Amino acid sequence: MSFVSTLHSGKFIITAEISPPKGIGTSRMDRDADLLKGIADAVNVTDNQRAVMRMSPLAACDLIQKKGIETIMHMTCRDRNRLALQSDLLGANALGIRNVLVMSGDHPVKGDHAGAKPVYDVDSVQLLGILRKLNEGFDLAGNELDGRTDFCVGAVTNTELNEVGVIKFKKKIQMGATFFQTQAVFDVNSFSGFMEKVNGIRSENVKIIAGIIPLKSLRSAQFLNKVAGIKVPEDIVREMKDSKNPEAQGMEIAARIIKEIRPMCDGIHIMPVGNHGNTKTILKMAELI
Amino acid sequence: MIISRLKELDEILQLLSEKNLFIIGCGKCAKKQHTGGEPEVIDLKEKLKATGKNITGWTVLNSACSINSWEDVLNQNPAIKKSDALLIMSCGGGVSVISRYARMNVYPALDTESLGGVCCNEIVTQLCEMCGDCTISQYGGICPVTQCSKSLLNGPCGGAVEEKCEVDERVCAWDKIFERLKELGKLEYLEMIHEPKNHTKKFRGKKV
């Protein structure tokens, strides 16, 4: 079943994130993709995440899809102006990439090419508008296209939304986002508050897929606490600190969070630190597969 | 006001190989910010002298970007004719105007950062990007093109940590916009969906 059909089938969605290689060697990416085959409903492919230059997600999605795995192509507004975004989207659709996840993108100063010119010609709300137009058979300038795209379009959100964040969330729905993938969830109570907030805004057709990062060490927990939109509660940090096997502890925590949030949202999105070696086990522990 | 900062001495020395230099300061923005007024010109003169450069003379023009004529400047500063190059302590506007009319080697001593303002001795930086398409009233007088690191027009990116922008220590522009619009009773402005900017309004003075 295609991801878009799964999304609206009522099944609890499982997606997982893969990074394209820093270079042209695809063996690690291939290994991760193989580990997710038959488990994930679709595999997200990141776009120079954390502003670190890597292989283009368009090429990486194509390589992964050739293995029979459906992808969700990430597209940030950081590196391409409106011409480049649209031409990549047309190319992606022609190659059979059907899902796009839109986001602003970390600023270049956060990455490994800090002196790069930040583009941000359009923002994520405007990029959603572009995708809507392409799906209607027109480009942003209103020119008619030879064939329309058929993208299923998603956006991202933090789970701690202030008032202006809620307004942006609304705008993303208004401009055609049909699913949201969230920043990593560790605090179930706070996630429940987030769901309450967005349930008052979204229709049932807009799906919420919660981000899950399995912790690997105390250090990863401490590091994530400094990342925008992520809060690892003190008791989880303590669990990691007290554990003799932090990796196994992290898997247990991830499975526990998944079980707890399952009744609240429409799916989960696994973003491991490193590779997907533990993903299948975590999903089994969470009784999702 | 144009916001500028003094280049490091090493960088200035790398830029210019000429020995006989005339320094020109600016009596407007650079003077107010203490980057190109008389004290700064004299200070740079002494530092350059210490590196072996010959300073033929110096002046602080009323405004480096707005001169009556180059002949006037030459008449009042005959030492310029004995110089190999001019070193300008003004914004890029001043350096460009002098380069255009002086027809000799001209070097910038400052880096131009942004368009800002000053009130009650408080210098405020990064207020306007000169995009040629001002919609600032829709954002409560806080320009997201300039003050948001990503120039986002439809709301915050979500990258701020404890309300600080992911790029620097500034408060997220969108938090400021929200607070100001709330104060003004215009929160409905936040709901507007802003289309991508039309950049033809800015580029190269093209009339649209």
Closest to A208 (Cα-Cα) out of A182, A177, A185: A182
- The answer to whether residue B122 sits within a structural domain is no
Contacts of A49 (CB under 8 A, 6+ apart): A19, A74, A106
Contacts of A185 (CB under 8 A, 6+ apart): A159, A191, A210, A211, A212, A257, A261
Nearest chain B residue to A122 by CA: give it. B196
pLDDT at res. A119: 98
* Nearest neighbour of B152 by CB, restricted to A109, A120, A163: A120
Cβ pair A119, A80 in contact under 8 A: yes
- The answer to whether residue B194 sits within a structural domain is yes
Q: Check CB contact under 8 Å for B155 and A110.
A: no
CA A165 to chain centre: 18
DSSP codes of every residue in A243-258: -SSHHHHHHHHHHHHH
Percentage of chain A modeled with pLDDT above 90? 100
Residues B146 and B108 in one domain: no
Host domain of residue B175: 129-203
- The answer to whether residue B69 sits within a structural domain is yes
Q: Which two tokens stand for residue A269?
A: 């999105």
- DSSP, res A289: -
Measured from the Cβ of residue A8, the count of other Cβ atoms closer than 10 Å reads 14
pLDDT at res. A78: 98
Predicted confidence (pLDDT) at residue A218 exceeds the cutoff of 60: yes
Residues B109 and B35 in one domain: yes
Host domain of residue A32: 3-214+267-272
**Through-space distance between the first and last CA atoms of chain B, rounded to whole angstroms:** 27
- The answer to whether residue A60 sits within a structural domain is yes
- The answer to whether residue B208 sits within a structural domain is no
Mutate to test the interface with A, among B147, B150, B197 (most CBs of A within 10 A): B150
- DSSP, res A281: H
Residues B12 and B91 in one domain: yes
- The stretch A4-11 carries a mean pLDDT of 97
Q: Which two tokens stand for residue A59?
A: 């090429």
Q: Check CB contact under 8 Å for B155 and A164.
A: yes
Contacts of A158 (CB under 8 A, 6+ apart): A165, A182, A183, A228, A229, B158
pLDDT at res. A22: 98
CA dist., res. B136 & res. B140, Å (int)? 7
* Contact residues, A window 254-283, toward B, CB-based 8 Å cutoff: none
Q: Report the domain count for chain A.
A: 1
- The answer to whether residue B124 sits within a structural domain is no
Mutate to test the interface with A, among B152, B170, B177 (most CBs of A within 10 A): B152
- The answer to whether residue B123 sits within a structural domain is no
Which of these three, B69, B87, B114, is where a domain ends? B114
Closest to B58 (Cα-Cα) out of B31, B26, B28, B16: B26
* CA–CA distances in Å: residue A279 to residues A32, A92, A182, A218, A247: 10, 27, 18, 19, 12
- The answer to whether residue B94 sits within a structural domain is yes
Mutate to test the interface with A, among B147, B148, B157 (most CBs of A within 10 A): B157
Task: Tell me how close the Cα of B178 comes to any Cα of chain A, in angstroms.
Answer: 7
Task: Tell me how close the Cα of B153 comes to any Cα of chain A, in angstroms.
Answer: 7
Q: Which two tokens stand for residue B204?
A: 């190269």
Position with higher pLDDT, B162 vs A86: A86
Q: pLDDT digits over A112-137, tens only?
A: 999 999 999 999 999 999 999 999 99
Closest to B91 (Cα-Cα) out of B5, B201, B179, B208: B5
Q: Check CB contact under 8 Å for B157 and A104.
A: yes
Residues B107 and B185 in one domain: no
CA dist., res. A9 & res. A11, Å (int)? 5
CA dist., res. A15 & res. A211, Å (int)? 9
Residues B133 and B95 in one domain: no
Residues B67 and B10 in one domain: yes
Residues B109 and B161 in one domain: no
Q: Which two tokens stand for residue A228?
A: 């925008």
**Through-space distance between the first and last CA atoms of chain A, rounded to whole angstroms:** 16
Q: pLDDT digits over A172-198, tens only?
A: 999 999 999 999 999 999 999 999 999
Q: Report the domain count for chain B.
A: 2
- The answer to whether residue A46 sits within a structural domain is yes
- The answer to whether residue A10 sits within a structural domain is yes
- The answer to whether residue B120 sits within a structural domain is no
Position A161 confidence tier, pLDDT thresholds 50, 70, 90 = very high
CATH number of the domain at A34, please.
Answer: 3.20.20.220
pLDDT at res. B202: 83
CATH number of the domain at B45, please.
Answer: 3.40.50.2300
pTM of the model: 0.95
Residues B79 and B149 in one domain: no
Identify residue A288 by its one-letter amino acid code.
L
Q: Check CB contact under 8 Å for A171 and B154.
A: yes
Residues in chain B with pLDDT < 50?
208
Q: Which two tokens stand for residue A210?
A: 């919660």
Q: For residue A140, which residues of chain B lie inside 8 Å, CB to CB?
A: 196
The 3-class secondary structure across chain B, one letter per residue, is CEEEEECCHHHHHHHCCCCEEEEEEECCHHHHCCCCCHHHHHHHHHHHHHCCCEEEEEEEECCCCCCCCHHHHHHHCHHHHHCCEEEEECCHHHHHHHHHHHCCEEEECEEEEEEEEEECCEEEEEEECCCCCCCHHHHCCCCHHHHCCCCCCCCCCCCCECCECCCCCCECHHHHHHHHHHHHCCHHHHHCCCCCCCHHHCHHHCCC
What are the residue ranges of helices labelled H in A21-123? 27-36, 57-65, 82-94
* Nearest neighbour of B190 by CB, restricted to A109, A167, A229: A167
